Each structure stands twice: as C-alpha cells, then as structure tokens.
A and B are shown apart, each in its own frame.
Chain A
Amino acid sequence: GAVVSQHPSRVICKSGTSVKIECRSLDFQATTMFWYRQFPKQSLMLMATSNEGSKATYEQGVEKDKFLINHASLTLSTLTVTSAHPEDSSFYICSARDLRTGKNSNQPQHFGDGTRLSIL
C-alpha cells in the first residue's frame, strides 16, 4: 500500500532555531500533501495544503511566514518552522493521497510517522 515517510521523528532544540521537517511519498507521486499539527489530547488540526510547483494553501490562523512549506517535487514536501518557540512544540504530521487507484475524493489519506517537536 501507499507509504508516506516523515523525517525526523523527534526534534529537541533551543528557542529561536528553525526546524525543517520532510515528508516523502515513497511509492507514489503526490501533487498534494497535507500538514497537520496535534497538541496532546486534542484532535488533528490542518495547517496547510502543500501543492507541487505552486504556493501552499494555509488554513485560517496559520502564519505562512512562520510555517514555510515547499513542495518542489512530486514526492517531497517540507515544512520549516522558523524561529521556533516553546509554544510551537507539538506533534506535526503530514499526509498524502495515492491517486493511482482512483480519483482524489475517493481516496484516504496516508500519514507519515509524525514529528514530535520540542522547543526548549
């Protein structure tokens, strides 16, 4: 089945550091990938939709200058948390749909393993 890989799985760094998270579709091409954030005991929150070759679409309330998204190829999207602060500590998860077997609206999302970000 479709596999999405996310790296790194865990990041601990000082306040003010910028952190880059990679999301790769390993066995399929993804023109669209999704970035979520999840705080403890809360539901997934969609941050942005990453579009290959064009600008990402951000959800309301998500600062695009804070969370930089680059989707330069059909298998890789990156999320950079710029000048991270303790309040950015969270679980970041990416996902993508495998469209080889059907149209977009009928396909489930496949998630990466997630990145647990801790800012000291």
Chain B
Amino acid sequence: RKEVEQDPGPFNVPEGATVAFNCTYSNSASQSFFWYRQDCRKEPKLLMSVYSSGNEDGRFTAQLNRASQYISLLIRDSKLSDSATYLCVVNTNAGKSTFGDGTTLTVKP
C-alpha cells in the first residue's frame, strides 16, 4: 500500500461545476499537508497548505481529517484554467515529504 494515495481520475467536469479530490495517508505521524498543482510539462506549484481547522482560498477549500487520515480539496465554480494534475503532499515530523501520484482534472466548456 502506498503511503499517500490519490484517485488518479481523470475527472472531467463542465465549467462551473464543483469537484472534490481526496487523498489518504498511512503514516499517523504525518505533520503537515499540502496541495500542489502541476500543469503539463511544468513543475509542481504550491496551491495551498492544509490546516487542521480547514482553510479556504477563493474557490478552493482544503480540509484535514486526522482521525480518518485523509485530506481533501474542493474546487467551486471550476474554470477552464483549473485543468491540471493536483498533487497531495504529506510531511512527516522528520521533514520527509511524500507525494501522491496526482489526480488529473479536465474542465470542459
């Protein structure tokens, strides 16, 4: 079993839709959590950190459930420009980062 697992998708949604991705992690000592987006043939870019109380940045909402060991990313009012691969990243308290394989989102007109 992988340390960090994501549904690879692809998720194909129309513009304006709401879409949610989940990511599960197996290491209960995980310390911090992040979502990145990666466009085709580009480097990953930090989208947002995930805080215990949940956090929102515009159309994006991230949540953490430590008891069930998963994090989620909700995108509201999807735009064409949201099409990308979304990577879940988990840091242990030793500073090791583990990346999920990514979830591919395609937003269609």
Q: Which residues of A contact B (CB under 8 A)?
A: 6, 32, 34, 43-44, 91, 93, 97, 104-114, 116
Cβ contacts under 8 Å, A108 to chain B: 32, 34, 36, 46, 49, 89
**Would you call B44 an interface residue if the criterion is a C-beta within 8 Å of the partner chain's C-beta atoms?**
yes
On whether the beta carbons of A105 and B41 are closer than 8 Å, the reply is no
B69 within 8 Å of A (CB atoms): no
Given contacts A104-B95, A106-B91, contact A44 B44 (CB under 8 A): yes
Could you list which residues of chain B lie within 8 angstroms of chain A, going by C-beta atoms? 31-32, 34, 36, 41-46, 49, 87, 89, 91-95, 97, 99-102
Query: B43 contacts A114, CB within 8 Å?
Result: yes
The answer to whether A111 and B44 have CB atoms under 8 Å apart is: yes
Q: Out of A34, A91, A107, A111, name the residue touching B41 (CB < 8 Å).
A: A91
Residues of B within 8 A of A97 (CB): 95
Q: Are A43 and B32 in contact (CB under 8 A)?
A: no
Cβ–Cβ contact A44 & B32, under 8 A = no
Distance (whole angstroms) from the CB of A114 to the closest CB of chain B: 4
Instruction: Tell whether A109 pairs with B89 under 8 Å between CB atoms, given A43-B101, A43-B102, A44-B99.
Output: yes
In the assembled complex, the CB of A97 is this many whole angstroms from the nearest CB of chain B, namely 8
Nearest Cβ in chain A — how far from B42, in angstroms?
A: 7
Q: Complex Cα distance A110/B36, Å?
A: 10
Is the beta-carbon distance between A111 and B43 smaller than 8 angstroms?
yes
Taking CB atoms, residues of chain B closer than 8 Å to A43 are 87, 99-102
> Closest Cβ of chain B: how far from A102's Cβ, in Å?
9
